[in-house]
Chains A and B, each alone.
Chain A
Amino acid sequence: MISPGEYFVEGDLAAAYGAIKAGCLFFAGYPITPASEITQAMAELLPRVGGKFLQMEDEIASISAIIGASWAGLKSMTATSGPGFSLMQENIGYAAMTETPIVIIDVQRAGPAIGQASRPAQGDIMQSRFGSHGDYETIVLSPNSVQEMFDLTIKAFNLAETYRVPVIVLSDAEVGHMMERLIVPENVEIVNRRIAKSLQETTIYDESLVSPMGRFGDGLELMITGSTHRPDGTRDTGTPEVQESLVKRLVNKIEKNRERIENWEEMYTDDADILVISHGASSRPSKGAVIRARKEGIKAGFLRPKVLWPSPEKRMKELESNVKKVILPEMSLRGYKMEVERIFRGKLLHMPKVGGVVPTVEEILKKIREASL
């Protein structure tokens, strides 16, 4: 299945290929533009590798089903877009609370509400981190090409299995629907969760604050609950220390490992006066604009988080002291703005483009030129 070689496919299909390569054996989903192509591809591909596909009655059922399947020991995924992603939020929190590895692909479209169903946007960034109630952390990846739809979907499974968290691949309608070359390599690094052999083992956390995961049907008498619980699963909603240690660990699992999780691309940052930070589809013209600006003698640099959450906080802080201005082109009025503004404060020139159209090299270059004056 998905033999190594060269393909020319759309981003959504590349994500499905990545999922199969990563060892995904269960998918539950509900049709929605512009993510339906992932769902359709999984319906076709999964049975061929002995995996199970279910089209559920809605997105809430879809995420519920993949959490259930993950506890049966299968790598599980769903794919959706804005409206469906909103419906999934409660159970994203449930997956975080129960430390269930799952992968959710959100192919972002312009909102709010129904918005522009087939047009790209990048307005789900804060939701992807804070969408469910309470304190928790997820990992959010941001592909900007068809190749990365494949690569980062595999990475999403690996991170989910490593840290036992829901991992979100935050794509957009542009990257999901565009067609490009995809190279499927001979060898792909795959991570599988550690399976507990006893209930006791599920209570022992390693230095990453992760414990081996039990599996339904193995006789461990697992007690999995979304309520506050002790390490062995016993519900205990009345003891402050139980809630405190659980929630702190859920957050620290990401926070303390963030340097291992963070990932970004950068270029010309050493002597940059103007730093362009961008992610997903809008990072493509951003990079092009930085290259053009350099040719014009402007000291522009480029930083692209491939992992949006946790953000490349340390790297951004290092760059903060040297750069004079930061430009953030993105397809949202808020997008990643709060995170960048938090670090670069008054240096940020936000460049939102809403309307469902990716910014162009020329538009971003104009902004860089203005900033350089």
Chain B
Amino acid sequence: MITSRYIKENYVRRLPSAFCPGCGDGQILNAIIRAIDHLKIDRKDVAAVSGIGCSAWIPSPYLRVDSLHTTHGRPIAFATGLKVANPRLKVIVVSGDGDATGIGGNHLLHAARSNVGITVIMVNNGLYAMTGGQVAPTTPHEAKTTTTPYGNPAFSLDVSRVVAAAGASYVARWTTWHMNQLIRSIEKAIMKKGFSFIEVLSQCPTYEGRMLNMDHIQMLEWFKNKFREDADGIYKIGEFVDIEKPELTEELEKMIERVKK
């Protein structure tokens, strides 16, 4: 039985966190920790990389592993270098929707395409929260944010579908309501040889709540009722891709062996 005391003593650098009351980021930290603990991986073999945004703070400073808190949009590129340089490491990127698909979208596509064996957990709250609730690539059409005060004229991206199309080995989408599925999914993602991607719909009561006119309880209920494995589009949750195929780091190692001969 994993108690919260056990988690605090073994996996968390410090508490309380700086997250807003009701924020889903703490749940996601909890899910990552439980996945690592279930897998019984040595913490020194885990590296966490994050960019800029609220979710970047999930690993840095809270998760007690080597952590690299990088520039906005770039954690996947940093993580690629780290993983290729030391393939033994289980490299987990925790990124937000703006970080991973706005400023950093190019890196996400190419990491999926090259199938580098890192795990990206993308926390999706549908907007830029840390900077004050601005429109993101994931914000629904017509939604009001601080930079779309008259409604979002653009349309949102189904990130998981894009990452699946780009060639990832593992793609899943869950919400913070689906904690057990999420933990199992993170375990699978970490152990997946190739590029793994998990999109987690998470409640941001401060800004997303304002956009949707809901508090965090209502948002969790919304996740529970609306997001289903048999739903369509962005509301569809579950595992979308789970395949085995050659991975970048391994291919590089093979190439080096071949060339050195």
Contacts and interface: CB of A to CB of B under 8 A. Distances in A.
Interface of A: 25-26, 28, 47-48, 50-52, 54, 56-58, 60-62, 64-74, 76, 90-91, 94, 214, 216-227, 234-235
A221 B81 CA distance: 19
Interface of B: 13, 42-45, 47, 49, 60-61, 64-71, 74, 77-86, 88-89, 106-107, 109-110, 252, 255-256, 259-260
A61 B61 contact: no
Q: Which of A50, A225, A227 has the most CB of B within 10 A?
A: A225
Contact of A221 (B65, B68, B89, B106): B65
B85 A74 contact: yes
B47 A217 contact: yes
**How would you classify the secondary structure of chain A's contact residues: helix, strand, loop or mixed?**
mixed
B85 A64 contact: no
A222 B255 contact: no
Given A57-B107, A219-B44, A223-B61, A72 B70 contact: no
Nearest to B45: A217
Contacts of A223: 13, 60-61, 67, 69
Nearest to B109: A57
Nearest to B74: A64
Contacts, number: 136
A70 B69 CA distance: 14
A58 B256 CA distance: 24
Contacts of B64: 221
B60 A225 contact: yes
B106 A57 contact: yes
A226 B71 contact: yes
A203 to B, nearest CB: 16
Nearest to A66: B81
A56 B110 contact: yes
Contacts of A221: 13, 43, 64-66
List the 6 closest pairs (A to B, CB-CB), nearest first. Answer: A68-B81, A65-B81, A219-B44, A64-B77, A72-B85, A69-B85
Contact of B81 (A76, A94, A234, A235): A76
Contacts of B256: 47, 50-52
7 contacts: A54-B84, A64-B74, A64-B80, A68-B79, A68-B81, A74-B85, A216-B89
